Structure 1
Amino acid sequence: MEYELSRDGMTIRVAEMGAEIQSFTACGREWMWSGDPSVWGRHAPACFPWCGRLKDGYFEQDGVRYENGPHGFAREYPHTLVGQDGASLTFRLDWNEETWKRYPWKFRLETEYRLVEGVLSSTYRVYNLDEREMPFQAGFHYALALPLTPGGQTEDHELRFAGVEEPEEILTLEGGLVSGRRPRFTGMDHVKLDDHLFDQDSICLSGLRTPWIELASRTGETAIRLGMEGFPYVLFWSKPGPMRFVCIEPWHGLPDDAQGDHNLFHRPGIRVLGPGESFTCTQTLTPQG
């Protein structure tokens, strides 16, 4: 089942499965990747309750082994629509018997989409409903469609920062596990796109000061700005080959360390909520022309 919301010249369609946006139209165009399964069959999956891969595909808690795939499991379950008005849709995923088999904590994840004055705001709210501390990570994974202008090539696009940056890249091994850091894009205020940028998979950056990153056409005025203030990590990713979309992914969390011990509490970038505590993070999308 899908839900639609329109306001201020913007329209979103959101699937019940994963509370995942399927479409975002504004300024007379579609901004989201189509989800072509022959390339990559998703649009904007949630990363929860972890981001990236688990070492060897599992973690252990209280002597029990829990096998799981990358990016958690929130994208794999239907979310219940619990709030709707003229400007917003709110979905909820609560822990249940199935999630307990994969992640032994009682949680609630709420996802709110809001359309206001030309901006799509997406918010995750995480609640610890357990009587123990709960480790978790959360991140966005939106795929923005290319080209931004008809007939445009990958090289006609760039990712822009608010100013000159000196970030570090989080290095990973072939299996996606953290292995170190190095300077990347030092002294740059933009990154030019090309079809080989992601030959080695995603690029994860830490230490960015910019409150937003803009996917922009270098040959026109079309752009979309992703606001991600407060996120410690941002990933860029696309499928290798001709670039039909690019993901800008603000994350609160990182994949397991290559030398990790299968304990979620020891995972790089882990966040921990005490009993009854909650956590909120928001990203925004602002299309231009």
Structure 2
Amino acid sequence: MLQTISNHILSATINSKGAELVQLSKNNQDYIWEIDEKYWNKTSPILFPIVGRLKSDEYHNNEGTFKLPRHGFARDYEFEIIEKTENKVVFQLISNATTFINYPYHFQLKLSYEIIENQITLTYETKNLSQYQMPYSIGAHPAFKIENIKDYSLEFPNDNELTFHSLENELYSKKTNTISLDQNKLPLNYNHFKVDALVLKEFHSNEFSLLKNNNLYLKFKLTNFPHLGIWTKENAPFICIEPWNGYADNFDTNGNIFNKSGITILNPNEIKENKIEITL
């Protein structure tokens, strides 16, 4: 079911399946790409309860070994709408017998979208409903509409260089690639993405911008999202800007999810909030 929120500047439409943002516009200009399956079949999936791929697509804990697909399962579930106003909508997913098969933890996951002036805020709230600790990761994967990729750059005001961690077969090797920035800017081109996403496990700019011809296109402010993925496909008319709290397995992982690099551990009844503010 599609839900639309708006004000006098912005309009956003979200699909209750996956609580996925499918449309975002300002003054009738679209910012989220329109699906073309020859490139990708999503617009902005939520990544939960893992980000990226697990080694052999599995993990273990004290209960046994469990399978999870890349980026988890939340994107495939119908979310309940628990609040709706003209400019805000809140979606909720609660663990059930089906999620428990692959992820034996009781959880409550809320995702709210709120528009104020020329900004949309995405707030992710995760609560551990279990009586024991719950390991999880969470992330966003929005695909923003672009034209000629070489017209775009990312500006990181607190970074002079960026160190990207290399993926091999969707797992992290120990290889890194450090790129010096020109006036804090990373020019975009398809050559960056020949192997996979550009992944920043660490960077210093929790506020950064996507520029078009050196003019502001989108501005991002992240709270409790310490990692960032950047991704597209050859000739695709989108760029994914992916705030993450967590990331894929290292190639030499032992598979214990509690020891997983980048994992978050929630205590019983603990709530953690992650936030993305996007200014258009």
* The two structures share one fold, judged by TM-score above 0.5: yes
Deviates more, 1:271-280 or 1:185-194: 185-194
CA drift at 1:102: 1.0
Q: In the alignment, is the contact (CA less than 8 A) between 1:124 and 1:280 conserved in 2?
A: yes
- Provide the alpha-carbon RMSD of the alignment: 1.5
Q: In the alignment, is the contact (CA less than 8 A) between 1:210 and 1:229 conserved in 2?
A: no
Q: Distance in 2 between matches of 1:118 and 1:184?
A: 34
1:103 aligns with 103
Structure 1 residue identity aligned to 2:180 = T
Structure 2 residue identity aligned to 1:275 = P
CA drift at 1:180: 2.0
1:150 aligns with none
Q: Distance in 2 between matches of 1:254 and 1:6?
A: 33
Q: Distance in 2 between matches of 1:187 and 1:40?
A: 29
CA shift digits 1:46-103 (9 cap, x unpaired): 0111100010011123353221211111101000000112321000000000000010
Asked if 1:169 is matched to 2:164, the reply is yes
Q: Distance in 1 between matches of 2:33 and 2:103?
A: 30
Asked if 1:257 is matched to 2:255, the reply is no
- Which of 223, 226, 229 is the aligned partner of 1:232? 226
2:263 aligns with 270
Q: Distance in 1 between matches of 2:221 and 2:6?
A: 21
Change (3 A) 1:243 1:192: farther
2:23 aligns with 23
Change (3 A) 1:258 1:103: same
Q: Distance in 2 between matches of 1:66 and 1:243?
A: 34
> 1:1-289 counterparts in 2 under 5 A?
1-147=1-147, 153-173=148-168, 175-188=169-182, 189-218=184-213, 221=215, 223-239=217-233, 241-287=234-280
Deviates more, 1:177-186 or 1:126-135: 177-186
Deviates more, 1:46-55 or 1:58-67: 58-67
Q: What stretches of structure 2 of length at least 5 have no aligned partner?
A: none
Change (3 A) 1:274 1:222: closer
Which SS does the other structure have where 2:46 is aligned? coil
Q: Distance in 1 between matches of 2:146 and 2:269?
A: 42
Structure 2 residue identity aligned to 1:76 = D
Q: In the alignment, is the contact (CA less than 8 A) between 2:165 and 2:177 conserved in 1?
A: no
TM-score by length of 1: 0.92
Q: In the alignment, is the contact (CA less than 8 A) between 1:171 and 1:178 conserved in 2?
A: yes
Deviates more, 1:127-136 or 1:192-201: 192-201
CA drift at 1:229: 4.2
Change (3 A) 1:98 1:194: same
TM-score by length of 2: 0.95
CA drift at 1:19: 0.4
Percentage identity across aligned positions? 25
